[in-house]
Amino acid sequence: MEVQIAVAKINKYATSESGDTLEIVERPNGGLSVVLADGQTSGRGAKAISLMVVRKVIGLLAEGVRDGAAARAASDTLFTERQGRVISTLNIASVDLHSRTIVLTRNNPAPMFICLDDRIDIIDEESIPLGTSRNVRPVITEIAIQPGLTVVIFTDGIPHAGERRGNPMNISQVIHSLMEDQDPGPQALADSLLEHAVRLDENRPADDISVLVLKVALRDGDNVRRLSVRLPIEGRLWT
């Protein structure tokens, strides 16, 4: 088998810093975790918050702390520092080679989608962002690593796309139609969902948007781990 992860990420229109931060860390007992946070508001303040949350979570995961405990710790730290005045969403997608499961940790009102064979489940159990109060608990979903599994996670730039123009996205319908294609790759899925959102905002995204797709595929032959990054650079600074 092979786990394939793809991310597509764009800034709010005319904003030089994204309030969304995404990083990947190796798990000390095998596998890796992708950590995605979206800090309240946009621009530099939001970036500082989401960076803080991601760094806190990554540091704890690297020490072997479990995903749920890392999310709670980040929430407590944020609440202690900001007393509920600043919040952040958090999603963690972990490939845990010890338990041989995908562990999905969610502190985000935005839903996520789990596709297995022809079935598409929407995970929209109530979930509140980090830093809102003491004792914030994450919603955790654990699934065996198996070929045919696809998980789609995003920040609120996706559900908010087109809203101001009274034309929001039917996310479930878009994901169903994308999954109908013959075995779509994770990058194609992430790119298409992002593109759809940007189009609804008439090419001027009203918010930072990040889409993360994790897919388990049958092996394609070699034992090589691969990672690739594409970072567009504007004439002006762009982070």
Q: Which residues bind a second copy (CB under 8 A)?
A: 1-11, 21-32, 51, 55, 59, 62, 95, 97-98, 145, 186-187, 190-191, 194, 219, 222-234, 237-239
Q: Closest approach of Cβ 155 to a second copy, in Å?
A: 13
Q: Residue 115: count other Cβ atoms within 10 Å of its Cβ.
A: 20
Q: Closest approach of Cβ 50 to a second copy, in Å?
A: 10
Nearer to a second copy, 3 or 128 (CB): 3
Nearer to a second copy, 52 or 139 (CB): 52
Nearer to a second copy, 83 or 231 (CB): 231
- If you search the block for the tokens 């509140």, which residue do you land on? 128
Q: Closest approach of Cβ 125 to a second copy, in Å?
A: 27
Q: Rounded to whole angstroms, how far apart are CA atoms 89 and 38?
A: 5
Q: Closest approach of Cβ 224 to a second copy, in Å?
A: 5
Q: Identify the helix (H) or strand (E) that includes residue 37.
A: strand 31-39
Q: Closest approach of Cβ 127 to a second copy, in Å?
A: 24
Nearer to a second copy, 126 or 234 (CB): 234
Packing angle between helix 186-200 and helix 171-179, nearest 10 degrees? Answer: 140
- Please name the residues in contact with 214: beta carbons below 8 A apart, sequence gap of 6 or more: 3, 4, 5, 34, 93, 95, 102, 149, 150, 151, 153, 186
Strands 101-107 and 139-144, bridge-based pairing: antiparallel
* Whether 90 contacts 130, CB under 8 Å: yes
Nearer to a second copy, 27 or 72 (CB): 27
Phi, psi of 115 (to 5 degrees): -110, 130
